[in-house]
Structures are given as C-alpha cells and as structure tokens.
Chains A and B, each alone.
Chain A
Amino acid sequence: MTMAMTDTETNKGFIDVRDMGVTFGANDNKVVAVENVSLNVQPGEFVSLIGPSGCGKSTLLSIVAGFVKPTLGEALLDGKAITKPGSDRGVVFQQYSLFPWLSVRKNVEFGLKMAGVEQSKRNTTARALLDLAGLLSFENHYPDQLSGGMKQRIGIVRALATSPQVLLMDEPFGALDTQTRVVMQEILTNIWQQFRISVLFITHDIEESIFLSDRIYVMTARPGRIKAEIKVPLPRPRRAEMTDTPEFMNLVQELKGLIREESLAAMAPEIKDRGLSGFGMKVGPKGVGEIF
C-alpha cells in the first residue's frame, strides 16, 4: 500500500459546505451570489458543480480554496473551518496560472520549495509528476513555449506536488478546444485514480461532468442554490467509448433538461425587460454599457 492510499483510508479530504451564503457589495450594488448552499465531497470522491454562467460556481470554489470569506454559513475541510489558502488544497484555475519566469520543472517544484523541501527531493518529485503528465521532455521549457493543453496539465501536477487532500478545479479545460478537452479528461481521470484524492470540479460542460464525476451538483441561476444532486453510476475506469452508451445519453438528457430551465431563468429578466435591444438592435437611453 502506498502512502497516498493510506491517506484516503484514514478519510482525509472531506469537504463540507453548510448553509453557505455569499453577498458581494452593499446597499444598491448588493449582489447575492450564492444562497443557502450545502454540499459535500467525500474523501476520494470526484464531484462536479455545474450551473449557468454567473450562478456563483467560482465563488463557491474560492471559498473552499480560502480566498473569499462566506457571508453566511461555513466551509469545513476534515471538520476544520477553512480560513485561508493552503497547500492542503490544490487549486487549478481556469486561466493559465503557471509562473512565466520559472521553467516547467521549477513551476511544479514551487509548492515543495515553499514547504522547505530540499532541492534534490523537489527535483525527483517534480520529474516523477511531469512523467505522469507526459511532459518530462519539456521540463526545462518556459510556460510560454507550451500549448494551452500542456500548460493545464502542468497546472494540475503542480497542484498535486504537495500531495494535497483535495483538488479544486475551476473550469480547467474551459479554454481548450473539444479534442484537447477529451484527451485532458482522460488524463485527469488517470491521474485522479492514481492519487485517489477528493476533487471538486467546476464546469459548464454536461458531458465532461458526467464523464469525470461520481456525483454532480446542479446549481440554479443567480442567486445560486443547489437545484439537484445526481449520482453517476457508470463503472470505472471510464473510457471514451462510454459516452455512446444509453446510460450516458440518459444522464446527458436529464442534465440538459435541468440546465436549460436554469439558463432560461437566468436570461429571462433581461429578455423580458429589453426585448431585442439586448441583442444590440436598439440601444437604450443609457447606452450599450448598461446591457452588457
């Protein structure tokens, strides 16, 4: 048994979000981003969060990561309240977030360096992880020399270098083309199966969420609430061919129905208020800036 395995067996990496509410701004500018959200990720579980744009997915993730403090409720990791960012939670951002001034290997080593691990050990670990990501031959390149998919793969293994108990991912493949996305999803399931850590994964891609997850939370339009919780009973390891099976299709249909309702709900007020002006046909008295 490896150490990584024992970690999950001792039930580490349990995310528990309780009665969460987040409000930005005050008075007239007040935005209720998230309202009364409770969700959890069991140790070693892969959970996706899916919902229309602006429903507060990133906000929720920022709270678990420790960047934002909730207005109401609490977020716990293994029973302890989350107050600030830390290397027990790896985060992969939607934007590319590699340090451009560090080589690929130094990027992966960064977390270990912050933890005071000595150079030779950092080096070994980083090379093992780069090998896992299929990018060992690029260890001395700079991030600007890599493609988007390669950068995100390195972003993932960089977040894993400090062996966090959970991995938080905010639409990590959002900027990639469809083919690269599919490949990245397979790489991610592979890596996840080796590390067996809890993952909270944000996406707006229905197929992606089904392919990757054990469980999916669907959020409502803003203010974001949990609309539904769906279990994905597909066997593992997942293979690309599974996306053609009837079980997979049924899940897609079910989720599509749920999401469509919410997307319409998210757009409805604007469409009702402005008619076609919302599509640039006619500009209101305050100009276009008001619409977009």
Chain B
Amino acid sequence: MGSMASAKIVALPMIEKHSDPEPAAVAAKSSAAEISAVETVANASAPVTSSELPVPASEPVPTVSLTKVLRSLLAQITRERLITAALACISIGALFLFWYLGTKYRFEFYIRFKNVPTPYEVYQQLTQVGLSNKYLFNIAISVRRILLGFFIAMAIGVPLGLAIGKYQRVRDLFMPVIEILRPIPAIAWVPMSIMLWPNNEASIVYITFIGAFFPILLNTIHGVHSLDGVLVRAARCLGASEFRLFLNVILPGSLPHIFTGLAVGMGVAWVSLIAAEMISGQFGVGYFTWEAYSLVDYPAIVLGMITIGFLGLACSGIIRMVGVLLMPWLAFAPGGRR
C-alpha cells in the first residue's frame, strides 16, 4: 500500500502540470494562503477558462476562518440575540413575579402559598447559610456523584451503542436485556442499589449512572442507524478498514445523536441523583433540600431547589458548548443551528 501511495503522489503534481498553461492557476497556487486573494484570482480566471473549469464565483458562501465566522455571526445576530435575551428575562422574570405576588398576598386558591417563603427570605438564606461550608460541601458532593455516574455511563454507553448499532450479533446479544432493564426508572433501583453496593456513595453513583446510561446508549444506537449508508460505502471504497470506519465515519456520523443522548442523559442523571439523595443520602443537594423540609426550614427548601435548577442548567450548558465546539459543521447543516 505504501509504495502504491507514494507512486500516486508522484503522479499528481505531474497531472497538475497539464493545467499549468493557464497562468491563473499558477498565480492561485502561489498566493493560496490568502483565501480572498485566491478568490479574486479565480474570478479573474473565470472568463478565460469558463468552457473548462467554471469557477462559481457568484456563490455567496462565507469563508471558514474561525474568527471571521465568529465576527460575522456576532454582527448578524446581535439584534436577534438582544430579542432572545429580552425574552429570556421576561420568561424568568414572570416566574419570580408570580412567586413574589403569590407570597406577598398569601395567595390561596387550591394551591397554598401560606408556608412558601418569599424571594427575599430565600435571598437572605443564600447570603447567610448559602455560602457556608455545609452548603458548598453539599454541592461539591452532588457534582462529584453526577460526574462519576455520567462519565461511567458515557464510557460504557457510547462504545456499546456504536457496537450494537453496527453489528447485528452484538445487537441480538444485548438488546433483550436492555429492553427489560430500560423501563425500570432509576429511582426504582434505590432499594436494590443499597443492597447491592458496599457503601452509600457507590450506590448513589450507581443510580446516577443508571439514569444517564439508557438515554446515552439508545441515542448512540439511533445515531448509528440514522447514518446514511452511502457514507459507509464511500468510506469502504476509499479503503477504510473496519477499525478506521468506526473511528472516521461511524463515530463522527453519530456524534449529533450521541450529544442528544448526553444532554438527555445528564438531565435524567440529575433527576435520579436528587431522588437517590433524598431517599438514602448523606450529603448532597437533594439531601440538603430534604433535610430542610424535616427541619421546617422553608427558605432552605427553595434555596435547594434553585440550586438544583442552576446546577442542571450549567451541566447541560457545558454539554451543549462542547457539542458546538466538536461539531462545527452542524452550523451549516440544513435545518441546523442557524
């Protein structure tokens, strides 16, 4: 293979020579570093060689230089962004307003705001207890559990999903057991998990793992299945071995679905974690919230809830950001982010 390939490299620059009579082509090569320069040269050459290689100069396709793209995106979307931000403020503001009014007038019509703390009380709670070691420690414990459970789920779910998606036999072997285990919600695992694992910490991480695992696995499988078969055939024709096919085609091709799975998995992981912490926990944000309830510390309940909301938001935000960085092509996909 190596010698063949090197022979080919020799062949190509020679082929290139055939087109050298066109001076424009030579000019284009020397100034190729500057994309805009190439474009002007190409435009200039278009009338000359139009019968042979017409350069579609009129295509209004933006060039891909990261800073350029960012700048143009910023320039284009500033107005859009402002509207988006304004609507976000309205949406969150409405929630707080409802809460504020409900607690201020002790709203009571089937739902009861009698014992609900006011936003101000919760804010006080945050400034007093909020930045205490106990509170931060609980957050740290929860985050550690989430990260452990989530990354184990990802490390097992993605490769297994790729294999199940690709190989009929692997699918036949794993799918029956997956189909049985999948409908069992992570919370239903709590008693079993406590029996199964040697300590409390491991059993909570396990429950978090269960929550994240199935969305990641199933979305990965779906990603492999929705990969266009012609891409696999194209890769085969270009000499891709089985392993390279996985690495260079099946994995990147399923990446959008994998990230959907990661985002959903992260959400379910939080749900499972909080439930597990409330039922069996020591420490953690879920435990903090439940403890506040048993101690009749109402502002702390709301503080715990808001904390959970923000942590969940931050985690899915990070996943989305990593997704954008890892999959820049999606910005141009039909029906994509733009």
Which residues of A line the B interface, CB within 8 A?
2-4, 7, 65-67, 84-87, 89-91, 93, 95, 97, 99-103, 110-117, 121, 124-125, 127-129, 131-138, 140-147, 149-150, 158-159, 161-163, 183, 186-187, 190, 194-195, 240
Do A115 and B15 touch (CB < 8 A)? no
**A-B complex: 5 closest residue pairs judged by Cβ atoms:** A87-B239, A134-B53, A111-B238, A3-B11, A163-B8
Looking at the complex, which of B75-83, B246-254, B258-266, B290-298 is the stretch in contact with chain A?
A: B246-254
Residues of chain B contacted by A3 (CB below 8 angstroms): 7-8, 10-11, 14
- Of A85, A129, A142, A186, the contact of B332 (CB 8 Å cutoff): A142
Known: A97-B230, A183-B54. A2 touches B241 (CB 8 A): no
CB distance from B274 to the nearest CB of A (A): 36
CB distance from A149 to the nearest CB of B (A): 8
CA distance A141 to B35 in the complex (A): 11
A-B contact pairs, 24 of them (CB 8 A): A2-B11, A2-B14, A4-B15, A66-B237, A85-B233, A87-B238, A93-B234, A97-B228, A99-B235, A101-B252, A101-B327, A110-B240, A114-B235, A114-B238, A124-B9, A124-B12, A128-B15, A131-B16, A131-B29, A140-B65, A141-B63, A142-B328, A145-B332, A163-B7
Number of interface residues, chain B, beta carbon within 8 A? 63
Which residues of B line the A interface, CB within 8 A?
1-2, 4-16, 18-19, 25, 28-29, 32, 35, 38-39, 42, 49, 51-56, 59, 61-65, 228, 230-231, 233-241, 244, 248-249, 252-253, 255, 327-329, 332-334, 336
Known: A115-B5, A127-B32. A91 touches B52 (CB 8 A): no
CB distance from A99 to the nearest CB of B (A): 6
Do A147 and B56 touch (CB < 8 A)? yes
Residues of chain B contacted by A129 (CB below 8 angstroms): 12
Do B239 and A125 touch (CB < 8 A)? no
- Of B19, B29, B59, the contact of A147 (CB 8 Å cutoff): B59
CB distance from B291 to the nearest CB of A (A): 47
CA distance A121 to B240 in the complex (A): 18
Count of chain A to chain B residue pairs whose CB atoms are closer than 8 Å in the complex: 177
Do B237 and A187 touch (CB < 8 A)? no
Known: A4-B14, A97-B231. A86 touches B237 (CB 8 A): yes
Residue of A nearest to B7 (CB): A3
Residues of chain B contacted by A99 (CB below 8 angstroms): 231, 234-235, 249, 252-253
CB distance from A119 to the nearest CB of B (A): 12
Do B61 and A100 touch (CB < 8 A)? no
Residue of A nearest to B255 (CB): A101
Residues of chain A contacted by B25 (CB below 8 angstroms): 131
Do B239 and A97 touch (CB < 8 A)? no
Do A93 and B230 touch (CB < 8 A)? yes
CA distance A114 to B51 in the complex (A): 35
Do A100 and B333 touch (CB < 8 A)? yes
- Of A85, A112, A150, the contact of B236 (CB 8 Å cutoff): A85
Known: A101-B255, A116-B1, A136-B28. A163 touches B11 (CB 8 A): yes
